[in-house]
Structure 1
Amino acid sequence: MIRNSTFAATGMPVSYTDHFNEIAQYNVQLNLLEKAWAAWYAYMQNDVLATGIMSFVMHELVYFGRALPFIIMDQIPYFQKYKIQAHKMPTLAEQWQCAKLVLLSHFTVELPQIWLFHPTAQYFGMSTSVPFPAWQTMAYQIAIFFVLEDTWHYWFHRALHTPMLYKKIHKLHHQYSAPFGLAAEYASPIETMILAFGAVGVPIVWAAVTQNLHILTMYTWIILRLFQAIDAHSGYEFPWSLHHVLPFWAGADHHDVHHEKFLGNYSSSFRWWDSVLGTEVGSASDKMAKPKKAAMAKAQ
């Protein structure tokens, strides 16, 4: 049983530290992160506001924080050998223009949805309390979300490439034929809502059906999905890229070709839907390997 902060009953203004110390004193069974989590909700005294601020700040820090290393690498000549389309290096002006539209989308399209997330999540049975679930529970649920989101993304992304939907909705995302990390969420509001359902709606449906999902699992899943999306749009193929370890993983090797050719490779995280349904259009690593093989053959 978790004992909550009692400061609210006094009506006196108190700091976050006061709430944390009281919760830590009476809930010694909690770990440090759980105490910090409970103190945040006690300090805010408004669960919708507490979840909304935490969700939005987390999204912005992860999105732009993960894109930043690729922005830096684009300015360093050493990394050009890993760039899939090295002849189309994005300029800082292009990246800033992209960032402005992404920020506009975050504040006008995503922020209202994030603000409604807490009541929606609680209505469908998602937990926001402590203690947190076991890591094993989080791991298998996140694995399921990856598979279900990839399926959703494949079919709706493929639908967005039909002539009418492409022209009216999806064309904006293909403004950059050589993608870069910041462009992961460079899209029209309609596309953002359609494809975002795979990332947000799938866990909510899971919570409604199973009544077994914690918001921390949701946050961890969203962070991993953001990493995947930004990496897939990074335009970089490294010797340590994940698909070299997991052959069914997609990533930039898979998605960069989609932006270059404007078709095929519709999946988000995995390659199996494209492979089974004949929409695989090759990989960037194969394309990059051909000149190397030709040079080796010429040298022999």
Structure 2
Amino acid sequence: MGWTHRRLAKGLLFWPALLGFAFLGPRSRLCRMGLAGSSGETLSYQDEDYWEQRYKTGDKGANPDRIDDRGIGWLCGYKGPLQETLQAITAGDRSKVILNVGCGLDRLSPEIYADGYTNLLSSDISAHAIAEMQKSTAEDMPMAKWLVDDIMDMSVPSESVDIVVDKGTLDALLIRPQPFSCAAKALREIQRALKVGGIYLMITHGRGDPDAWRLPLLAMPHLSFNVAKTPDMGGFFIFVCTKLPSDSGDAEEAWRKAEEWARERDQEDQEAEFAAIDDVGQ
């Protein structure tokens, strides 16, 4: 992991006056929970059908999580540190093009739009979620755009977005099988969609310590981000990742190295899980 701290900003961002805002309770790790599919198989966060069923029926599976899909939603509400951060990085410029990835039925997109950011594109892998949000917001968000899309293979044009907002989507990828490979693909797509100088705004508190699990991902050799992060904001962290001009060199070779590193980390992760299962069985 020779590149773990490459291009990472040493400064941290602080909002001391906002530490008392309301938030969802902290979760040290999202477990691999699921619900039964039509053929009897167990679906979980890694499955597209899981999200379709969840958003259609509200069923969160046999071990339901604590996520409020239609209220505060994933991790935190908009008002507070998230809103303050977005306003700071846009310098109040409401014309910025914003992409909210993995929007689901969360209230984040409507709240960003109501704050004046009307050049807003929201995407999710669930067609049901996008259709419902389009219908429910048609009157209040006439300029907003909604898109069924996979964060690991997005249809968003290259260098077309000023800010990508990710509230818990990378966290969901990190509980899939091959979590690091999935995250590497998603981050490649996010960087591709961002303009140079654009910002990936990641709100996270999913799997593991944020420094150990997020910083190595953001410093992979196919990426070019300057990174700052908040302290613990009460169960979640905010990462501000600014896209830098690409380093001169072979982009394909950089991606090959990133894929190799991700596969190695996935293997280590799987071995650790098997070892933990063996320990429980002793």
> What TM-score results when the alignment is normalised by the length of structure 2?
0.26
Larger radius of gyration: 1
Q: Which protein is richer in helix relative to its size?
A: 1
Q: Which protein is richer in strand relative to its size?
A: 2
